[in-house]
Amino acid sequence: MKAHDAMYIGGQWRPAVGQDTIAVVNPADEQVIGHVPAGTAEDVDAAVRAARDAFPGWAATAPAERAARIAALRDVLVARKDEIAETVTAELGAPLGFSQAVHAGVPILVAGSYAELAATYSFEEKVGNSTVFLEPVGVVGAITPWNYPLHQIVAKVAPALAAGCTVVLKPAEDTPLTAQLFAEAVEEAGIPAGVFNLVTGLGPVAGQALAEHEGVDLVSFTGSTAVGKQIGATAGAAVKRVALELGGKSANVILPSADLAKAVNVGVANVMGNSGQTCSAWTRMLVHEDQYDEAVALAAAAVAKYTVGERVGPLVNAKQQARVRGYIEKGVEEGARLVAGGPDAPLDTGYYVAPTVFADVTPDMTIAREEIFGPVVSILKYADEDEALRIANGTVYGLAGAVWAADDAQAVAFARRMDTGQVDINGGRFNPLAPFGGYKQSGVGRELGSHGLSEYLQTKSLQF
Ligand code: NAP
Ligand code: MG
C-alpha cells in the first residue's frame, strides 16, 4: 500500500488545502513508512459538502442496490485481504497472523453482515393506523481510533451506507494508510461519488472540525472517554445525534465451579491479543480466594508463552508505550505484586511493553480502575459471589466482560447482574451480529447487527 498524498472527496483523490503532513511510523522498528496530508477545517468542509450533495441520491437508492454495493465492497476486502493485513501490521505493529485473522478477517464478516441486512431489513412498519418509515439520518461524521483500524471504520461505514446515509471519515492519525486502502476499496466497489469521503488529519483539528460541522447530522465516535465526552457535549449543544464507543475496564469473573486453567488461559490470551490495545479486553481477572494462588501461577505460566516481537507486537506509538509503562510503575508503587513482566522496555527498538501480570491487586488501585490499554492483567481476589459482583461493577466503565462456571446457567445468572454491554459465557464466540457497546461511561449507542443499523435511522410516522 503506497500512501496517497491526497484526500478522497467526492469520488476523487484531491490534494489537501494546506501543506502539512503526518508521518506514519512503523512501531516495531520506529521507521517512517509514509506521509499523508494533515487535513484542516477547509478539507472537512469540502468533504461534508460532497457527502451532502450525494445524500439525496443514495438515500433514494433501493436497499437492494445499496446491499449490492456493500457486497461488492466486501468482495474487494476479500480480494485485498493480504494487503490489508500487511498495512495494519506496518502501521499498528500487530503480528501478521493476528492482522490476517482479526484486522483483515473481521471487517469482511461485518461488511458481509450489512450487505445481508441492507437487503432484508424492514425500513417500513405498520403500527395500528400508522405507517412508520425508517429513514437515513443524513450525513455521518465518523471518527475512529487506531487499535482496530479497519474494523472500526467498517463498523460505522457499512451500517451507515446500508441505512442510506453518506459518510465523512476522520481516521486516527497513527493508522491513516488502512483508511486510504479502505477508500480505494470503496472506489473499486463502485459506490457512487460522495457517498464515502476520507479526510486524514489530527483529532483536535480535522476531528473537531468534523464534529462541529453544521452539515453533519450524526457523529459516530470511537476512542477515549475524555475525547468522547467533549464530542458528546459538542453534539448535544447542536442537537445532533451522537454515538460513542469509549473505554472499558472489563472483568473476567471466574466462579469456583469453572475450569480454572481454561478460564485463566483464555483470559490471558484475551488481554495479550493486539498488545492489550482492545477496549473490550478483560483486564481484571476475578478469582475466588481458595483458588487464588493457583490462578496466579497459571497466569504467570500462560503469559510466559507470549514472546515479545513474535506473539506480542509493540504498542502503537511512543506515547502509548510510556503511558502503559507509567501504569505498571504505578501498580508497583501502590503495592500490587508483579508476577510477570514489569516497566522495563523488553527490546531496544520498537515501542514494546513486557507482557505483565499483577497479583494482589485491590479494587481501589489505579491499575484496577483506569484503562491501561496495554498487555497488563490484574488479578483480584473475592470471597463470595456478591463481592465478585461488587468488584466487577465497581468502575465507571461497562463495556464487556466474561463469566466462567461449570454450567452456562450459573454463568448467565451472574452475567445478568453485571452492569456491562457484552458478556462472553464460558469463552463465547465472536458474533458479528451481536450488539456491541457500553453501559455507564463506556458509551452511548450500539454497533454491529441490526442494533448498529438502527443508529443510522430516524423514524417518520404517517397516520391514516
Ligand atoms: P483519542 O484521542 O480518543 O482518539 C480517537 C480518535 O479521536 C482519533 O481519530 C483522534 O485523532 C480523534 N480525536 C482526538 N481528539 C479529538 C478532538 N478534540 N475532536 C475530535 N476528534 C478527536 O484516543 P488516543 O489518544 O488515540 O488514545 C488514548 C487512550 O484512549 C488510549 O490509551 C485508550 O485508553 C483509549 N482508546 C480507546 C479506544 C476504544 O476503542 N475504546 C480506542 C483508542 C484509544 P488523533 O488520532 O489525531 O488523535
Ligand atoms: Mg489522540
- Render pLDDT for 204-256 as a digit per residue (tens, 0 to 9): 999 999 999 999 999 999 999 999 999 999 999 999 999 999 999 999 999 99
Contact 422, 280 (CB under 8 A): yes
> Sign of the CA dihedral 246, 249, 253, 254?
positive
Q: Output the pTM of the full model.
A: 0.98
Look at ligand 1, atom 13, and give the residue with the nearest C-alpha.
203
Beta bridge partners of 444: 244
pLDDT digit string, tens, across residues 372-422: 999 999 999 999 999 999 999 999 999 999 999 999 999 999 999 999 999
What pLDDT sits at residue 330?
A: 98
Nearest CA to ligand 1 atom 26: 145
Per-residue cell: 401: 466482560
State residue 448's pLDDT score.
Answer: 98
Amino acid at 176: P
State whether the beta carbon of 230 lies less than 6 angstroms from ligand 1: yes
Residue 245 is a catalytic residue: yes
Class of domain 7-246+442-463: alpha beta
Q: Which three cell numbers stand for residue 188?
A: 473499486
> Which of 443, 396, 446, 386 has the alpha carbon at shortest distance from 417?
386
Ligand closest to Cα of 39 equals 1
Predicted local distance difference test score (pLDDT) of residue 245: 98
DSSP, res 112: H
The set of cell numbers assigned to 170 is 476522520
- AA letter at 375: P
* d(CA 385, ligand 2 centre) in Å: 38
Distance 40 CA to ligand 2 centre (A): 16
Helix, strand, or coil (residue 284): strand
Q: How far is the CA of 247 from the centre of ligand 1 (A)?
A: 10
Which three three-digit cell numbers place residue 333? 508503587
Among residues 245, 371, 447, 455, the one annotated as catalytic is 245
Three-state DSSP class for 6?
Answer: coil
CATH 3.40.309.10 residue ranges for the chain:
251-431
Question: Is the CB–ligand 1 distance for residue 207 below 6 Å?
Answer: yes
Which pLDDT does position 2 carry in this prediction? 87
Which architecture characterizes domain 251-431 according to CATH? Answer: 3-Layer(aba) Sandwich (3.40)
141 CA → ligand 1 middle, Å: 15
Whole-angstrom Cα distance, residue 462 to residue 327?
Answer: 55
Give me the pLDDT at residue 1, please. 79
pLDDT of residue 244: 98
**Gap between the Cα atoms of 340 and 370, Å rounded:** 20
pLDDT at 188: 98
| Ligand 1 touching residue 145 (CB < 6 A) | yes
239: left (phi > 0), else alpha (psi -120 to 50), else beta? left
The bridge status of strand 130-136 relative to strand 124-127 is: antiparallel
Task: Please state, in angstroms and rounded to a whole number, the distance separating the CA atoms of residues 203 and 143.
Answer: 8
Distance 203 CA to ligand 2 centre (A): 6
Q: How far separated are the first and last CA of the chain, in Å rounded? A: 55
- Give how far Cα 352 sits from Cα of 12, 26, 276, 357, Å: 38, 12, 11, 16
Specify the ligand 1 atom closest to the Cα of 247. Answer: 41
163: phi > 0 → left, psi -120 to 50 → alpha, else beta; which? Answer: alpha
| Grid cell for residue 409 | 446457567
Alpha helices in 405-444 (DSSP H): 408-415
Ligand 1 in reach of 246 Cβ (< 6 A): yes
- Residues of each domain in the chain carrying CATH 3.40.605.10: 7-246+442-463
Q: Which atom of ligand 1 is nearest to the CA of 320?
A: 32
Whether the CB of 54 sits within 6 Å of ligand 1: no
8 A C-beta contact, residue 48 and residue 217: no
What nine digits make up the cell of 405? 462456571
With the most atoms of ligand 1 within 8 angstroms of its CB, the residue from 44, 91, 143 to mutate is 143
